[in-house]
């Protein structure tokens, strides 16, 4: 079960047909939550991250088990927790959990495909958050079940719609602002611009990473205008904690190098606020090594 719809590039995953989207099928979702004795909360650190589902989860009598790798989990929301940031992904933690329970023989190709996809996407295809050898040992075990990593990579990354690729091109050529003195690049998209490219869930995923790939850029921010808020997506290199910026200034959080948050000002005011906040961090940004 998930609170909201998720990108089409994940809908080929085995078991996709069993996923219940709370926002689209509230009655069925509530029935399932009410009938559950045990709820696993995967890849989020607090119940307030579950949007409309939050209340139903809070009143549920089920035992709740958190399995997650974000900073500063809200452990009081859960009965048990398996949470560490020293790990590539929640998928890797799920594998370790299964292993610890002695159920490793149950990991078939369908489960291995899902776990491999989680590790691959959370590490940017094994380019970050993957400095621990165990990540590769676990990945090797998953591949030994007979899954096809090349095909999985293609299904996730080579299935752009034409609109999505053109939106990426537009962002990079027309919309990227570089703040040289702050080693920062940001891209801001209005709702009108998103509509022009027939924006679908997941279409803007990963664009922020292109901005971060510029030499000497330490911080990248992607801003999108939503119905009731401005969504901010932060990425950083090295020591720079974007979690702190998102948490302190934009009601958000996440990881040290990848975080998100919201602003309830207009898009232009949010950009102004962001630039003012970054000025306050200038000395730190200069000091931060990459
Ligand atoms: P993204 O920029 O891809 O939306 O999110 C980057 C990371 O930050 C993800 O791990 C995501 O779970 C986390 N994140 C995004 N938005 C928020 C937020 O509003 N609050 C918290 N606590 N974490 C967030």
The continuous run of DSSP H or E covering 282 comes out as: helix 282-287
Q: What is the mean pLDDT of residues 159-174?
A: 97
The CA 146 to ligand 1 mean position distance, Å, reads: 32
Instruction: Say how many Å lie between the CA of residue 262 and the centre of ligand 1.
Output: 10
CA of 248 from ligand 1 middle (Å) equals 14
pLDDT mean across residues, the chain: 97
Least confident of 2-6, 11-15, 39-43, 280-284: 280-284
pLDDT at 51: 94
Q: Which of 118, 79, 78 shows the shortest CA–CA distance to 98? A: 118
| Ligand 1 environment, Cβ below 6 A | 49, 70, 233, 252-255, 258-261
At 54 the pLDDT is: 98
Q: Quick one: pLDDT at residue 289?
A: 73
Distance in Å, CA 189 to ligand 1 centroid:
18
Using a pLDDT cut of 70, give the percent of the chain over it.
100
pLDDT of residue 288: 81
- Compute the distance between CA of residue 8 and CA of residue 30 in angstroms, rounded to an integer: 24
In this structure, which residue's CA is closest to atom 21 in ligand 1?
253
Q: Would the pLDDT of 83 be above 80? A: yes
Query: What's the pLDDT tens digit per position in 88-110?
Result: 999 999 999 999 999 999 999 99
Q: Residue 290: its pLDDT value, please?
A: 72
pLDDT of 150 above 80: yes
Average of per-residue pLDDT across 229-242: 95
For the segment 56-74, what is each residue's pLDDT rounded down to a tens digit?
999 999 999 999 999 999 9
Closest C-alpha to ligand 1, atom 3: 233
Please provide residue 130's backbone torsions phi and psi, each rounded to the nearest 5 degrees. Answer: -140, 40
**pLDDT tens-digit profile of 167-223?**
999 999 999 999 999 999 999 999 999 999 999 999 999 999 999 999 999 999 999
The alpha carbon of 162 and the centre of ligand 1 are apart by a number of angstroms equal to 27
- Of 253, 256, 257, the residue with max ligand 1 atoms within 8 A of its CB, to mutate for a pocket test, comes to 253
pLDDT value of residue 284:
87
């Amino acid at each position: 079960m998930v609170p909201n719809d998720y990108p089409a590039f994940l809908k080929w995953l085995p078991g996709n047909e069993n996923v219940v989207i709370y926002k689209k099928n509230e009655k069925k979702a509530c029935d399932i939550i009410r009938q559950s004795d045990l709820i696993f909360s995967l890849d989020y650190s607090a119940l307030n991250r579950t949007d409309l589902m939050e209340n139903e989860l809070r009143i549920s009598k089920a035992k709740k088990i958190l399995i997650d790798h974000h900073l500063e989990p809200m452990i009081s929301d859960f009965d048990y927790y398996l949470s560490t940031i020293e790990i590539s992904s929640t998928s890797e933690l799920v594998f370790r959990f299964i292993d610890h329970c002695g159920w490793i023989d149950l990991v078939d190709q369908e489960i291995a495909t899902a776990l491999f996809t989680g590790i691959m996407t959370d590490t940017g295809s094994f380019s970050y958050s993957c400095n621990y050898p165990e990540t590769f040992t676990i990945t090797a075990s998953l591949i030994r079940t007979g899954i096809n990593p090349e095909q999985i990579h293609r299904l996730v990354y080579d299935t752009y719609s034409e609109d999505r690729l053109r939106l990426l091109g537009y962002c990079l050529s027309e919309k990227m602002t570089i703040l040289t003195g702050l080693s920062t690049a940001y891209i801001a998209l209005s709702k009108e611009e998103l509509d022009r490219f027939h924006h679908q869930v997941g279409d803007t995923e990963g664009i922020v990473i292109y901005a971060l790939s510029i030499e000497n850029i330490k911080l990248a921010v992607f801003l999108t205008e939503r119905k009731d808020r401005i969504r901010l997506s932060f990425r950083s290199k090295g020591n720079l904690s974007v979690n702190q910026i998102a948490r302190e200034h934009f009601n958000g959080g996440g990881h040290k190098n990848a975080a998100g948050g919201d602003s309830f000002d207009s898009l232009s005011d949010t950009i102004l606020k962001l630039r003012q906040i970054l000025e306050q961090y200038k000395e730190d940004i200069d000091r931060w090594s990459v």
